[in-house]
Structure 1
Amino acid sequence: MDHDNLRKLLKQVQKGTSSIDDALEELKTLPFEDLGYAKVDHHREIRNGFPEVIYCEGKTIDQVKGITLAMIQRGSSILGTRASKDVYEGVLEIAPDAVYHASAKCIVVNPKTQQLHPERTIAVVTAGTSDISVAEEAAVTAETFGQKVDRIYDVGVAGLHRLLAQLDRLRKAHVVIVVAGMEGALASVVGGLVDRPVIAVPTSIGYGASFNGLAALLTMLNSCASGVSVVNIDNGFGAAYTACLMIKD
Protein backbone atom coordinates (compact mmCIF):
# COMPACT_ATOMS: atom_id res chain seq x y z
CA MET A 1 0.00 0.00 0.00
CA ASP A 2 1.47 3.36 -1.03
CA HIS A 3 0.99 6.81 0.50
CA ASP A 4 -2.01 7.68 -1.65
CA ASN A 5 -3.94 4.47 -0.91
CA LEU A 6 -3.19 4.69 2.81
CA ARG A 7 -4.35 8.30 2.91
CA LYS A 8 -7.50 7.35 1.01
CA LEU A 9 -8.26 4.57 3.50
CA LEU A 10 -7.78 6.88 6.50
CA LYS A 11 -10.07 9.49 4.95
CA GLN A 12 -12.74 6.83 4.45
CA VAL A 13 -12.56 5.97 8.14
CA GLN A 14 -12.68 9.67 9.02
CA LYS A 15 -15.80 10.20 6.88
CA GLY A 16 -17.44 7.05 8.15
CA THR A 17 -17.59 5.38 4.73
CA SER A 18 -15.29 2.63 6.02
CA SER A 19 -15.51 1.02 9.44
CA ILE A 20 -12.55 0.63 11.75
CA ASP A 21 -12.85 -3.15 11.42
CA ASP A 22 -12.76 -2.94 7.63
CA ALA A 23 -9.71 -0.69 7.82
CA LEU A 24 -7.97 -3.08 10.20
CA GLU A 25 -8.66 -5.94 7.78
CA GLU A 26 -7.17 -3.87 4.98
CA LEU A 27 -4.08 -3.12 7.07
CA LYS A 28 -3.47 -6.69 8.20
CA THR A 29 -0.72 -7.22 5.63
CA LEU A 30 1.16 -4.15 6.88
CA PRO A 31 4.01 -3.97 7.46
CA PHE A 32 4.55 -7.25 5.55
CA GLU A 33 2.72 -10.22 4.08
CA ASP A 34 4.13 -13.65 4.89
CA LEU A 35 4.01 -15.97 1.85
CA GLY A 36 6.07 -18.66 3.55
CA TYR A 37 9.03 -18.34 1.19
CA ALA A 38 9.01 -14.52 1.27
CA LYS A 39 7.83 -11.72 3.52
CA VAL A 40 6.60 -9.05 1.13
CA ASP A 41 7.32 -5.60 2.54
CA HIS A 42 4.18 -3.63 1.62
CA HIS A 43 5.18 -0.92 4.09
CA ARG A 44 8.45 -0.05 2.35
CA GLU A 45 7.09 2.72 0.13
CA ILE A 46 5.61 4.44 3.18
CA ARG A 47 8.97 4.25 4.99
CA ASN A 48 11.41 4.76 2.14
CA GLY A 49 9.47 6.45 -0.65
CA PHE A 50 9.72 3.56 -3.13
CA PRO A 51 8.20 0.05 -3.08
CA GLU A 52 10.09 -3.18 -2.57
CA VAL A 53 11.92 -4.46 -5.65
CA ILE A 54 12.00 -8.15 -6.58
CA TYR A 55 15.49 -9.54 -7.15
CA CYS A 56 14.58 -12.45 -9.41
CA GLU A 57 17.92 -14.26 -9.66
CA GLY A 58 17.92 -17.33 -7.42
CA LYS A 59 14.13 -17.38 -7.05
CA THR A 60 11.87 -19.89 -8.77
CA ILE A 61 9.33 -18.70 -11.31
CA ASP A 62 6.50 -19.53 -8.93
CA GLN A 63 8.14 -17.53 -6.14
CA VAL A 64 8.50 -14.48 -8.36
CA LYS A 65 4.88 -14.87 -9.49
CA GLY A 66 3.67 -15.13 -5.90
CA ILE A 67 5.52 -12.00 -4.78
CA THR A 68 4.35 -10.14 -7.89
CA LEU A 69 0.73 -11.11 -7.29
CA ALA A 70 0.89 -9.97 -3.67
CA MET A 71 2.22 -6.58 -4.78
CA ILE A 72 -0.32 -6.25 -7.61
CA GLN A 73 -3.13 -6.74 -5.09
CA ARG A 74 -1.76 -3.77 -3.15
CA GLY A 75 -1.47 -1.53 -6.22
CA SER A 76 2.31 -1.24 -6.08
CA SER A 77 4.62 -0.35 -8.91
CA ILE A 78 6.62 -3.52 -9.50
CA LEU A 79 10.19 -3.86 -10.67
CA GLY A 80 11.84 -7.27 -11.02
CA THR A 81 15.59 -7.15 -11.59
CA ARG A 82 17.95 -9.83 -12.95
CA ALA A 83 14.99 -11.55 -14.56
CA SER A 84 15.24 -14.12 -17.35
CA LYS A 85 12.83 -14.35 -20.25
CA ASP A 86 11.38 -17.52 -18.67
CA VAL A 87 10.60 -15.64 -15.47
CA TYR A 88 8.95 -12.88 -17.48
CA GLU A 89 6.76 -15.37 -19.33
CA GLY A 90 5.67 -16.76 -15.96
CA VAL A 91 4.81 -13.29 -14.67
CA LEU A 92 2.77 -12.63 -17.82
CA GLU A 93 0.35 -15.33 -16.67
CA ILE A 94 -0.73 -13.15 -13.74
CA ALA A 95 0.16 -9.71 -15.14
CA PRO A 96 -0.65 -9.51 -18.87
CA ASP A 97 0.50 -5.87 -18.98
CA ALA A 98 4.00 -6.71 -17.68
CA VAL A 99 6.83 -5.36 -19.82
CA TYR A 100 10.21 -7.05 -20.23
CA HIS A 101 13.28 -4.88 -20.83
CA ALA A 102 15.63 -7.47 -22.29
CA SER A 103 18.83 -5.42 -22.17
CA ALA A 104 18.23 -4.47 -18.54
CA LYS A 105 16.86 -7.93 -17.64
CA CYS A 106 14.04 -6.17 -15.82
CA ILE A 107 10.31 -6.83 -15.54
CA VAL A 108 8.06 -3.83 -14.97
CA VAL A 109 4.41 -3.90 -13.91
CA ASN A 110 2.33 -0.82 -13.14
CA PRO A 111 5.14 1.76 -13.39
CA LYS A 112 4.53 5.30 -12.18
CA THR A 113 2.93 6.99 -15.18
CA GLN A 114 3.54 10.54 -13.99
CA GLN A 115 7.06 11.87 -13.72
CA LEU A 116 7.66 13.04 -10.17
CA HIS A 117 9.92 15.92 -11.22
CA PRO A 118 9.78 16.53 -15.00
CA GLU A 119 12.27 19.37 -14.60
CA ARG A 120 14.88 17.10 -12.97
CA THR A 121 16.90 14.60 -14.95
CA ILE A 122 19.07 11.62 -14.11
CA ALA A 123 21.77 11.21 -16.76
CA VAL A 124 22.92 7.62 -17.27
CA VAL A 125 26.30 7.55 -18.97
CA THR A 126 28.32 4.59 -20.21
CA ALA A 127 31.95 4.28 -21.20
CA GLY A 128 31.22 1.66 -23.85
CA THR A 129 28.45 -0.22 -25.57
CA SER A 130 29.32 -3.31 -23.51
CA ASP A 131 28.26 -1.43 -20.37
CA ILE A 132 24.74 -0.72 -21.64
CA SER A 133 23.03 -3.69 -19.95
CA VAL A 134 24.04 -2.39 -16.50
CA ALA A 135 23.15 1.15 -17.53
CA GLU A 136 19.73 0.02 -18.72
CA GLU A 137 19.07 -1.58 -15.34
CA ALA A 138 19.71 1.86 -13.84
CA ALA A 139 17.63 3.70 -16.44
CA VAL A 140 14.64 1.34 -16.21
CA THR A 141 14.74 1.49 -12.40
CA ALA A 142 14.63 5.29 -12.40
CA GLU A 143 11.85 5.41 -14.99
CA THR A 144 9.76 2.84 -13.11
CA PHE A 145 9.94 5.12 -10.06
CA GLY A 146 8.75 8.12 -12.08
CA GLN A 147 12.04 9.85 -12.81
CA LYS A 148 13.18 11.38 -16.10
CA VAL A 149 16.26 9.75 -17.63
CA ASP A 150 18.72 10.98 -20.27
CA ARG A 151 20.79 8.15 -21.77
CA ILE A 152 24.30 9.09 -22.94
CA TYR A 153 26.03 5.94 -24.14
CA ASP A 154 29.48 5.02 -25.49
CA VAL A 155 31.41 8.14 -24.46
CA GLY A 156 34.44 6.55 -22.77
CA VAL A 157 37.87 8.07 -22.23
CA ALA A 158 39.38 6.26 -25.22
CA GLY A 159 37.65 8.94 -27.31
CA LEU A 160 37.24 11.85 -24.93
CA HIS A 161 35.82 14.14 -27.62
CA ARG A 162 32.67 11.98 -27.57
CA LEU A 163 32.09 12.90 -23.93
CA LEU A 164 32.88 16.59 -24.37
CA ALA A 165 30.32 16.76 -27.19
CA GLN A 166 27.66 15.84 -24.59
CA LEU A 167 28.77 18.34 -21.95
CA ASP A 168 25.59 20.45 -22.12
CA ARG A 169 23.43 17.40 -21.45
CA LEU A 170 25.65 16.31 -18.56
CA ARG A 171 25.49 19.73 -16.93
CA LYS A 172 21.69 19.87 -17.20
CA ALA A 173 21.32 16.65 -15.21
CA HIS A 174 20.61 16.75 -11.48
CA VAL A 175 22.40 13.46 -10.83
CA VAL A 176 24.80 11.63 -13.14
CA ILE A 177 25.20 7.85 -13.07
CA VAL A 178 28.44 6.76 -14.74
CA VAL A 179 28.71 3.12 -15.78
CA ALA A 180 32.15 1.86 -16.82
CA GLY A 181 34.24 -1.28 -16.94
CA MET A 182 37.90 -1.79 -17.93
CA GLU A 183 39.85 0.68 -15.74
CA GLY A 184 36.75 2.72 -14.82
CA ALA A 185 38.31 6.13 -15.43
CA LEU A 186 35.18 7.76 -16.84
CA ALA A 187 33.65 8.47 -13.43
CA SER A 188 36.57 10.67 -12.40
CA VAL A 189 36.49 12.56 -15.69
CA VAL A 190 32.77 13.26 -15.40
CA GLY A 191 33.19 14.20 -11.74
CA GLY A 192 35.67 16.86 -12.79
CA LEU A 193 33.26 18.37 -15.31
CA VAL A 194 29.94 18.72 -13.49
CA ASP A 195 28.64 20.33 -10.29
CA ARG A 196 26.18 17.52 -9.59
CA PRO A 197 26.49 14.28 -7.62
CA VAL A 198 28.10 11.49 -9.63
CA ILE A 199 27.25 7.88 -8.81
CA ALA A 200 29.82 5.51 -10.27
CA VAL A 201 28.94 1.94 -11.25
CA PRO A 202 31.85 -0.38 -12.04
CA THR A 203 31.00 -3.17 -14.45
CA SER A 204 32.52 -6.61 -14.86
CA ILE A 205 33.45 -5.79 -18.47
CA GLY A 206 37.14 -6.13 -19.32
CA TYR A 207 40.05 -8.44 -19.94
CA GLY A 208 41.73 -10.66 -17.34
CA ALA A 209 43.46 -8.06 -15.17
CA SER A 210 40.18 -6.19 -14.77
CA PHE A 211 39.29 -9.01 -12.34
CA ASN A 212 35.58 -8.98 -13.25
CA GLY A 213 35.14 -5.34 -12.32
CA LEU A 214 37.42 -5.14 -9.30
CA ALA A 215 39.91 -2.91 -11.13
CA ALA A 216 37.17 -0.46 -12.10
CA LEU A 217 35.76 -0.55 -8.56
CA LEU A 218 39.14 0.34 -7.03
CA THR A 219 39.69 3.13 -9.56
CA MET A 220 36.32 4.65 -8.76
CA LEU A 221 36.82 4.35 -5.00
CA ASN A 222 40.15 6.15 -5.39
CA SER A 223 38.74 8.92 -7.58
CA CYS A 224 40.44 12.27 -7.14
CA ALA A 225 37.29 14.06 -8.31
CA SER A 226 35.08 15.34 -5.49
CA GLY A 227 31.44 14.32 -5.43
CA VAL A 228 31.90 10.80 -6.80
CA SER A 229 30.17 8.01 -4.87
CA VAL A 230 30.47 4.34 -5.79
CA VAL A 231 28.10 1.36 -5.73
CA ASN A 232 28.91 -2.31 -6.14
CA ILE A 233 29.99 -4.01 -9.35
CA ASP A 234 27.19 -4.21 -11.96
CA ASN A 235 24.72 -2.65 -9.52
CA GLY A 236 22.80 -0.36 -11.85
CA PHE A 237 19.70 -0.77 -9.70
CA GLY A 238 21.45 0.48 -6.57
CA ALA A 239 22.82 3.52 -8.36
CA ALA A 240 19.40 4.48 -9.72
CA TYR A 241 17.67 3.96 -6.38
CA THR A 242 20.16 6.30 -4.72
CA ALA A 243 19.76 8.85 -7.50
CA CYS A 244 15.98 8.76 -7.10
CA LEU A 245 16.29 9.40 -3.37
CA MET A 246 18.53 12.39 -4.09
CA ILE A 247 15.93 14.17 -6.23
CA LYS A 248 12.56 12.80 -5.10
CA ASP A 249 11.61 15.73 -2.81
Structure 2
Amino acid sequence: MLEEILKQIETGQLSAEAAAKQLATFENLGFAKVDHHRKKRQGSPEVIFGEGKTSTQIIDISRAMMAKKENILVTRVNKEKAEAIQRTLPDFQYHEIANLLFMMNSGEPVYSNGYIAIVCAGTSDLAVAEEAALTAEAYGLEVRRFYDVGVAGIHRLFAHIDEIRQATVSVVIAGMEGALPSVVGGLVSHPIIAVPTSIGYGANFQGLSALLTMLNSCASGISVVNIDNGFGGAYNAVLIHRLANKQK
Protein backbone atom coordinates (compact mmCIF):
# COMPACT_ATOMS: atom_id res chain seq x y z
CA MET A 1 0.00 0.00 0.00
CA LEU A 2 2.77 2.47 0.95
CA GLU A 3 4.72 1.80 -2.26
CA GLU A 4 1.57 2.35 -4.38
CA ILE A 5 0.81 5.67 -2.66
CA LEU A 6 4.40 6.87 -3.17
CA LYS A 7 4.20 5.99 -6.88
CA GLN A 8 0.95 7.97 -7.20
CA ILE A 9 2.59 11.00 -5.55
CA GLU A 10 5.60 10.68 -7.90
CA THR A 11 3.39 10.61 -11.00
CA GLY A 12 1.17 13.43 -9.76
CA GLN A 13 -1.92 11.21 -9.43
CA LEU A 14 -2.14 11.91 -5.71
CA SER A 15 -1.51 15.09 -3.75
CA ALA A 16 0.55 15.10 -0.56
CA GLU A 17 -2.57 16.05 1.43
CA ALA A 18 -4.61 13.16 0.00
CA ALA A 19 -1.72 10.77 0.62
CA ALA A 20 -1.47 11.89 4.24
CA LYS A 21 -5.18 11.09 4.73
CA GLN A 22 -4.73 7.61 3.27
CA LEU A 23 -1.72 6.93 5.47
CA ALA A 24 -3.33 8.19 8.69
CA THR A 25 -3.46 5.42 11.26
CA PHE A 26 -6.36 6.93 13.21
CA GLU A 27 -9.15 9.44 12.73
CA ASN A 28 -9.71 12.08 15.42
CA LEU A 29 -13.42 12.68 16.05
CA GLY A 30 -12.76 14.87 19.06
CA PHE A 31 -14.36 12.54 21.60
CA ALA A 32 -12.73 9.44 20.08
CA LYS A 33 -9.76 8.45 17.94
CA VAL A 34 -10.89 5.71 15.55
CA ASP A 35 -8.06 3.21 15.01
CA HIS A 36 -8.23 2.41 11.29
CA HIS A 37 -4.82 0.71 11.44
CA ARG A 38 -5.87 -2.05 13.84
CA LYS A 39 -6.82 -4.55 11.13
CA LYS A 40 -3.33 -4.28 9.64
CA ARG A 41 -1.74 -4.82 13.07
CA GLN A 42 -4.07 -7.44 14.51
CA GLY A 43 -6.02 -8.90 11.60
CA SER A 44 -9.40 -7.49 12.70
CA PRO A 45 -10.81 -3.95 12.87
CA GLU A 46 -11.46 -2.03 16.07
CA VAL A 47 -14.48 -3.14 18.10
CA ILE A 48 -16.75 -0.53 19.69
CA PHE A 49 -17.51 -1.00 23.39
CA GLY A 50 -21.02 0.45 23.53
CA GLU A 51 -21.53 0.68 27.28
CA GLY A 52 -21.04 4.27 28.46
CA LYS A 53 -21.18 5.69 24.93
CA THR A 54 -24.19 7.61 23.63
CA SER A 55 -26.02 6.47 20.52
CA THR A 56 -24.73 9.59 18.71
CA GLN A 57 -21.13 8.74 19.58
CA ILE A 58 -21.56 5.16 18.36
CA ILE A 59 -23.15 6.42 15.14
CA ASP A 60 -20.26 8.82 14.48
CA ILE A 61 -17.61 6.15 15.15
CA SER A 62 -19.53 3.70 12.95
CA ARG A 63 -19.73 6.17 10.08
CA ALA A 64 -15.97 6.68 10.23
CA MET A 65 -15.49 2.91 10.03
CA MET A 66 -18.06 2.56 7.23
CA ALA A 67 -16.09 5.06 5.15
CA LYS A 68 -13.12 2.67 5.36
CA LYS A 69 -15.35 -0.31 4.50
CA GLU A 70 -14.66 -1.96 7.85
CA ASN A 71 -16.93 -4.51 9.49
CA ILE A 72 -18.39 -3.06 12.67
CA LEU A 73 -19.02 -4.91 15.92
CA VAL A 74 -20.56 -3.01 18.85
CA THR A 75 -20.77 -4.80 22.19
CA ARG A 76 -22.80 -3.97 25.33
CA VAL A 77 -25.66 -2.10 23.66
CA ASN A 78 -29.11 -2.19 25.26
CA LYS A 79 -32.26 -2.39 23.16
CA GLU A 80 -33.23 1.28 23.52
CA LYS A 81 -29.81 2.50 22.40
CA ALA A 82 -29.68 -0.06 19.58
CA GLU A 83 -33.04 1.10 18.21
CA ALA A 84 -31.85 4.72 18.21
CA ILE A 85 -28.72 3.69 16.29
CA GLN A 86 -30.68 1.58 13.79
CA ARG A 87 -32.97 4.51 12.96
CA THR A 88 -29.89 6.28 11.55
CA LEU A 89 -27.91 3.23 10.43
CA PRO A 90 -30.47 0.59 9.45
CA ASP A 91 -27.83 -1.84 8.12
CA PHE A 92 -26.93 -2.76 11.69
CA GLN A 93 -28.25 -6.12 12.90
CA TYR A 94 -29.13 -6.20 16.60
CA HIS A 95 -28.98 -9.32 18.75
CA GLU A 96 -30.94 -8.58 21.89
CA ILE A 97 -29.82 -11.53 24.04
CA ALA A 98 -26.15 -10.69 23.42
CA ASN A 99 -26.68 -6.89 23.50
CA LEU A 100 -24.63 -6.72 20.32
CA LEU A 101 -24.79 -4.80 17.02
CA PHE A 102 -23.05 -5.97 13.85
CA MET A 103 -22.67 -4.54 10.34
CA MET A 104 -20.85 -6.30 7.49
CA ASN A 105 -19.07 -3.84 5.18
CA SER A 106 -16.25 -6.03 3.87
CA GLY A 107 -15.81 -9.74 3.43
CA GLU A 108 -14.18 -11.45 6.39
CA PRO A 109 -12.39 -14.65 5.41
CA VAL A 110 -14.47 -17.71 6.26
CA TYR A 111 -12.51 -20.42 8.03
CA SER A 112 -14.10 -23.59 6.74
CA ASN A 113 -11.70 -26.02 8.43
CA GLY A 114 -13.15 -26.93 11.79
CA TYR A 115 -15.30 -25.06 14.29
CA ILE A 116 -15.22 -23.67 17.78
CA ALA A 117 -17.48 -24.89 20.57
CA ILE A 118 -19.37 -22.49 22.81
CA VAL A 119 -20.16 -24.48 25.94
CA CYS A 120 -22.50 -22.81 28.41
CA ALA A 121 -23.42 -24.02 31.89
CA GLY A 122 -26.95 -22.61 32.26
CA THR A 123 -29.68 -20.59 30.58
CA SER A 124 -28.90 -17.64 32.89
CA ASP A 125 -25.45 -17.42 31.25
CA LEU A 126 -26.86 -17.08 27.72
CA ALA A 127 -26.17 -13.35 27.33
CA VAL A 128 -22.43 -13.95 27.76
CA ALA A 129 -22.52 -17.13 25.68
CA GLU A 130 -24.29 -15.43 22.78
CA GLU A 131 -21.88 -12.48 22.90
CA ALA A 132 -19.10 -15.03 22.46
CA ALA A 133 -20.86 -17.04 19.75
CA LEU A 134 -21.88 -14.02 17.67
CA THR A 135 -18.43 -12.46 17.97
CA ALA A 136 -16.82 -15.61 16.58
CA GLU A 137 -19.38 -15.79 13.76
CA ALA A 138 -18.73 -12.13 12.91
CA TYR A 139 -15.09 -13.07 12.36
CA GLY A 140 -16.01 -15.82 9.92
CA LEU A 141 -15.85 -18.90 12.14
CA GLU A 142 -18.28 -21.79 12.34
CA VAL A 143 -19.71 -22.00 15.84
CA ARG A 144 -21.47 -24.92 17.49
CA ARG A 145 -23.46 -24.14 20.62
CA PHE A 146 -23.77 -26.51 23.57
CA TYR A 147 -26.02 -24.79 26.09
CA ASP A 148 -27.38 -25.75 29.51
CA VAL A 149 -24.79 -28.48 30.13
CA GLY A 150 -23.65 -27.45 33.61
CA VAL A 151 -22.17 -29.77 36.23
CA ALA A 152 -25.43 -30.07 38.20
CA GLY A 153 -26.61 -32.40 35.41
CA ILE A 154 -23.34 -33.55 33.97
CA HIS A 155 -24.96 -36.25 31.82
CA ARG A 156 -26.14 -33.37 29.57
CA LEU A 157 -22.49 -32.54 28.85
CA PHE A 158 -21.57 -36.16 28.17
CA ALA A 159 -24.34 -36.37 25.57
CA HIS A 160 -22.36 -33.85 23.44
CA ILE A 161 -18.78 -34.55 24.44
CA ASP A 162 -17.75 -36.32 21.22
CA GLU A 163 -18.74 -33.29 19.13
CA ILE A 164 -17.08 -30.89 21.57
CA ARG A 165 -13.86 -32.91 21.35
CA GLN A 166 -13.70 -32.31 17.59
CA ALA A 167 -13.62 -28.51 18.01
CA THR A 168 -10.41 -26.53 17.46
CA VAL A 169 -10.98 -24.62 20.71
CA SER A 170 -13.81 -24.35 23.25
CA VAL A 171 -15.11 -21.26 25.00
CA VAL A 172 -16.64 -22.48 28.25
CA ILE A 173 -18.96 -20.13 30.12
CA ALA A 174 -20.21 -20.64 33.67
CA GLY A 175 -21.41 -18.73 36.72
CA MET A 176 -22.21 -19.97 40.24
CA GLU A 177 -19.06 -21.88 41.34
CA GLY A 178 -17.61 -21.93 37.80
CA ALA A 179 -16.65 -25.61 37.70
CA LEU A 180 -17.57 -26.40 34.09
CA PRO A 181 -14.26 -25.39 32.40
CA SER A 182 -12.33 -27.77 34.67
CA VAL A 183 -14.65 -30.63 33.75
CA VAL A 184 -14.43 -29.91 30.01
CA GLY A 185 -10.67 -29.35 30.30
CA GLY A 186 -10.25 -32.86 31.64
CA LEU A 187 -12.14 -34.38 28.72
CA VAL A 188 -10.70 -32.66 25.61
CA SER A 189 -7.26 -32.22 24.01
CA HIS A 190 -7.68 -28.67 22.67
CA PRO A 191 -7.37 -25.24 24.35
CA ILE A 192 -10.14 -24.02 26.67
CA ILE A 193 -11.01 -20.34 27.09
CA ALA A 194 -12.92 -20.04 30.37
CA VAL A 195 -15.39 -17.18 30.87
CA PRO A 196 -16.80 -16.62 34.37
CA THR A 197 -20.18 -14.91 34.62
CA SER A 198 -21.68 -12.78 37.36
CA ILE A 199 -24.63 -15.19 37.72
CA GLY A 200 -25.05 -16.64 41.21
CA TYR A 201 -26.21 -16.07 44.77
CA GLY A 202 -24.51 -13.75 47.28
CA ALA A 203 -21.30 -15.69 47.91
CA ASN A 204 -20.73 -15.75 44.15
CA PHE A 205 -19.65 -12.10 44.63
CA GLN A 206 -20.85 -11.06 41.14
CA GLY A 207 -18.67 -13.67 39.45
CA LEU A 208 -15.56 -13.49 41.64
CA SER A 209 -16.01 -17.02 42.98
CA ALA A 210 -16.35 -18.41 39.43
CA LEU A 211 -13.30 -16.43 38.32
CA LEU A 212 -11.19 -17.78 41.19
CA THR A 213 -12.36 -21.35 40.55
CA MET A 214 -11.32 -21.09 36.90
CA LEU A 215 -7.95 -19.52 37.77
CA ASN A 216 -7.31 -22.33 40.25
CA SER A 217 -8.34 -25.13 37.87
CA CYS A 218 -6.26 -28.30 38.07
CA ALA A 219 -7.08 -29.14 34.42
CA SER A 220 -4.32 -28.21 31.96
CA GLY A 221 -4.84 -26.01 28.92
CA ILE A 222 -7.30 -23.53 30.45
CA SER A 223 -6.96 -19.76 30.00
CA VAL A 224 -9.33 -17.38 31.77
CA VAL A 225 -10.75 -14.00 30.72
CA ASN A 226 -12.56 -11.43 32.84
CA ILE A 227 -16.03 -11.78 34.32
CA ASP A 228 -18.84 -11.63 31.70
CA ASN A 229 -16.29 -11.04 28.91
CA GLY A 230 -17.81 -13.21 26.19
CA PHE A 231 -16.24 -11.01 23.54
CA GLY A 232 -12.74 -11.47 24.97
CA GLY A 233 -13.15 -15.23 25.23
CA ALA A 234 -14.35 -15.48 21.65
CA TYR A 235 -11.60 -13.22 20.32
CA ASN A 236 -8.94 -15.46 21.86
CA ALA A 237 -10.66 -18.48 20.32
CA VAL A 238 -10.67 -16.75 16.92
CA LEU A 239 -6.89 -16.19 17.13
CA ILE A 240 -6.29 -19.84 18.04
CA HIS A 241 -8.55 -21.06 15.23
CA ARG A 242 -6.81 -18.81 12.68
CA LEU A 243 -3.41 -20.16 13.70
CA ALA A 244 -4.68 -23.72 13.49
CA ASN A 245 -5.95 -23.04 9.96
CA LYS A 246 -2.59 -21.56 8.88
CA GLN A 247 -0.85 -24.75 9.91
CA LYS A 248 -3.09 -26.95 7.71
State the TM-score, normalizing by the size of structure 1.
Answer: 0.90
Q: Verify the 8 A CA contact 1:13 1:23 in the aligned structure 2.
A: no
Q: Verify the 8 A CA contact 2:117 2:167 in the aligned structure 1.
A: yes
Q: Any idea what SS the aligned residue of 2:110 has?
A: coil
State the TM-score, normalizing by the size of structure 2.
Answer: 0.90
Please tell me whether residue 47 in structure 1 is matched to residue 27 in structure 2: no
2:178 to 153, 176, 184: 184
Q: Which runs of 5+ in 2 are unaligned?
A: 244-248
Name 1:68's counterpart in structure 2.
Answer: 62
Rate the CA distance shift 1:167–1:63 in 2: closer, same or farther, 3 A.
same
Which amino acid in 2 is paired with 1:19? Answer: L
Q: CA deviation at 1:169?
A: 1.3
Please tell me whether residue 19 in structure 1 is matched to residue 19 in structure 2: no
Q: Verify the 8 A CA contact 1:176 1:199 in the aligned structure 2.
A: yes
Rate the CA distance shift 1:200–1:112 in 2: closer, same or farther, 3 A.
farther
**Structure 1 residues 227-238: aligned runs within 5 Å:** 227-238=221-232
CA distance in 2: counterparts of 1:175 and 1:123, whole angstroms: 6
Query: Structure 1 residue runs of 4+, over 2 Å off?
Result: 6-14, 16-23, 111-116
Rate the CA distance shift 1:95–1:209 in 2: closer, same or farther, 3 A.
same
CA distance in 1: counterparts of 2:141 and 2:70, whole angstroms: 16
CA distance in 2: counterparts of 1:65 and 1:208, whole angstroms: 38
Q: Which runs of 5+ in 1 are unaligned?
A: 1-5
1:93 to 82, 87, 90: 87
Please tell me whether residue 119 in structure 1 is matched to residue 116 in structure 2: no
1:198 to 177, 180, 192: 192
CA distance in 1: counterparts of 2:18 and 2:167, whole angstroms: 42
1:212 to 194, 202, 206: 206
Q: CA deviation at 1:246?
A: 1.2
Q: Verify the 8 A CA contact 1:64 1:87 in the aligned structure 2.
A: no
CA distance in 1: counterparts of 2:232 and 2:148, whole angstroms: 21
Which amino acid in 2 is paired with 1:170? Answer: I
Q: CA deviation at 1:12?
A: 8.9
Greater alpha carbon shift after TM alignment, 214-223 vs 138-147: 138-147
Greater alpha carbon shift after TM alignment, 42-51 vs 18-27: 18-27
Rate the CA distance shift 1:121–1:159 in 2: closer, same or farther, 3 A.
same
- Total equivalences in the alignment: 243
> C-alpha deviations, 1:82-139, integer Å up to 9, x for none?
0012222232234221100000000001166555311121110100011111000001
Rate the CA distance shift 1:205–1:145 in 2: closer, same or farther, 3 A.
same
CA distance in 2: counterparts of 1:74 and 1:212, whole angstroms: 39
Name 1:157's counterpart in structure 2.
Answer: 151
Which amino acid in 1 is paired with 2:149? Answer: V
Which amino acid in 2 is paired with 1:240? Answer: A
CA distance in 1: counterparts of 2:174 and 2:14, whole angstroms: 54
Q: Verify the 8 A CA contact 1:112 1:144 in the aligned structure 2.
A: no
Q: Any idea what SS the aligned residue of 2:89 has?
A: coil
Q: Verify the 8 A CA contact 1:78 1:111 in the aligned structure 2.
A: yes
Which amino acid in 2 is paired with 1:216? Answer: A
Which amino acid in 1 is paired with 2:185? Answer: G
CA distance in 2: counterparts of 1:236 and 1:86, whole angstroms: 21
The Cα RMSD (Å) is 2.3
Name 1:31's counterpart in structure 2.
Answer: 25
CA distance in 2: counterparts of 1:92 and 1:17, whole angstroms: 41
Please tell me whether residue 139 in structure 1 is matched to residue 154 in structure 2: no
Q: Any idea what SS the aligned residue of 1:189 has?
A: helix
CA distance in 2: counterparts of 1:54 and 1:182, whole angstroms: 29
